A and B are shown apart, each in its own frame.
Chain A
């Protein structure tokens, strides 16, 4: 019996782990990360005071009616924003997907056109999502004035960039053999997507889209600052008036919405599995 040769990947693994730690340490220092300060006497009291201000939750009839209306507004805004963003994300995400490229098979003589087009789309998506939605919102407020349309448009653009990138990457990480087989048999891109890629990737795509919708609900807090209405604006008012009880009720509403989104996502994934 001969001794098994030592795992050749062990040394590089140790090296990379050490390198990651060495890099992480100065980053934590730069970020002023001092968790011990959480437990200092004065800070604990301040935190307790802040959290205590949230109780009891505001449950008066008037406020709940207001909360209900704001929730519907927020849901409408998030849904419209996601719908708008998918108009951007679906075509751009598909254009970015190498597995759906016909010129890549062979490779064809003009494959470089496809390569540069995909690079261009990738850059465009980076620009769309690289600028935070708040900045887009401030820009659009100058055009549309205060209100939901600026918020929806801002969400649509930033989330379009995020969704497009992730759609492309989800499609890219699915097994591309089925798609390639179809393209090699003369199928068009969209047919190859529907018959080859979607059966494998539909679950991932749906769950990421629902997750982004959930993020859009939370992002409406930011939209509130530009007067887009909804839960964000309500939250803004409550915090400014130091009304912790109202803020707590709003936070609970967020929590319920997040749980609901989770449930929807889980249900859809199970249906598509």
Chain B
């Protein structure tokens, strides 16, 4: 299980070469952080791993199958086993939180169940449990456009938690959260992946967060893998090279001061992590 990429290259429709010759092998149950400057190719890499982008070179094997040679039905079944937390939560503003979370299992549910759930939520308790882990259990029946950016990001996370994927992918899942909340959320992701024994790959803007929580850290630069090391062996010189274009290494820090843009989160009660 896990996944492997061999010589993977991908050029976007606008001619931008997002990935070149990427070799990567991640075993089942491994937890990996992707770090690198913006535009380095982290999102493209995650979308290749989600079977959402087909590379134009190389071979991909996800959870033991090649997504692009099988039947469309097999591809759909594979996609239902992969969960990607998007950087911008892809949730319609008018949708209620409960619907947005239950939508995580649309790939597993038969159509009648999806239809029935719109008339009356089929598993509100299941949705509430995942939301409660992210401290949003009380907002079950609220509309998503009432939530702050950080709260919406947690709803999107609860959706993938509810999906219970075998391959858990997250694209900057804490970008709209303050440092303290980021810390707890990343810890929760790791705890969930470890408990269920599934593979976790998350891209993170803050390098210290990646180093603190993930056993394995991969640096991505210009669509290539710059380093692929256990967290303890990443050296500062490597990080400086990784972020040479940005001028400094981005850190979340452990400082408590909150993100000025997130007052709703700053006022929320302490986080529960299980």
A residues in contact (CB < 8 Å) with B = 102-103, 105-110, 175, 177-178, 180-188, 190-192, 194-196, 199-200, 273
Contact = CB atoms under 8 A, between A and B. Distances in A.
Smallest CB-CB A-B distances: 10 pairs = A186-B107, A186-B80, A181-B90, A186-B79, A187-B106, A199-B92, A106-B54, A191-B114, A177-B90, A184-B52
B245 to A, nearest CB: 26
Interface of B: 50-54, 68, 72, 75-84, 86, 88, 90-95, 99, 103-104, 106-109, 111, 114-115, 118, 163
B94 A188 contact: no
**Most chain B CB within a 10 A radius of its CB, from A182, A187, A190:** A187
A102, A177, A195, A200: residue with the most chain B Cβ atoms closer than 10 Å: A195
Given A184-B79, A185-B83, A195 B106 contact: yes
Given A177-B86, A182-B103, A200-B93, 20 more contacts: A103-B72, A105-B52, A106-B51, A106-B53, A106-B68, A108-B68, A108-B75, A109-B68, A177-B90, A184-B50, A185-B163, A186-B79, A186-B107, A188-B106, A194-B118, A195-B99, A195-B106, A195-B114, A195-B118, A199-B93
Nearest to B102: A195
A175 B84 CA distance: 19
A136 B98 CA distance: 47
Contacts of A199: 92-95
Given A102-B72, A188-B111, A191-B109, A108 B54 contact: yes
Contacts of A273: 94
A200 B92 CA distance: 6
Given A185-B84, A186-B76, A186-B80, A107 B54 contact: yes
A20 B127 CA distance: 55
A23 to B, nearest CB: 33
A192 to B, nearest CB: 7
Contacts of A181: 84, 86, 90
13 contacts: A106-B51, A106-B53, A106-B68, A108-B54, A108-B68, A185-B83, A185-B163, A191-B111, A194-B114, A194-B115, A195-B106, A199-B95, A200-B93
B109 A185 contact: no
B95 A177 contact: no
B72 A185 contact: no
